[in-house]
Structure 1
Amino acid sequence: MCTSSGPARESAVALVEVGVETFACTARVETGYERDARYELFATRHPQLSDYQARTQRRIPIVALSRRR
């Protein structure tokens, strides 16, 4: 589970829960080559993502989470 305190931005703080652990992350919307490479990786593992992309005109965002220290 991931929660955020507001609308999507270039960089935001998110609270992530994995099992019983909760920690803060920086959420960053990927762009350019990084976005395209990660999208292809996800689409390979989850074919329904490509099916959804084919049915919409918007570009599906890819958000990278980096654990804050």
Structure 2
Amino acid sequence: MNQLGDELHASVGQWRARNQERRGGVVLVWEAQVYGWKNCFRDAVHERPGAYAVDEAGHVFVAEGGDDDNGAKC
């Protein structure tokens, strides 16, 4: 894993440890800071391009396309 992936997983792991009532779902990260949690993925336009979502299994998803005003495309 690369440095970004290591830092991302470490931040998400710390957040999950402090917020154990939020089981499953995805932890949302922007510019290396956790900014939220969702119980499931929703429409990409609700996220900024470049935002990350990390599920409980550690899979990382990236919001891509679109723009900051209209949200991500996918």
**TM-score of the aligned structures, taking structure 1 as reference length:** 0.31
**TM-score of the aligned structures, taking structure 2 as reference length:** 0.29
The structure number with the bigger radius of gyration is 1
With a CA cutoff of 8 Å and minimum separation of 6, indicate the structure with the bigger relative contact order.
Answer: 1
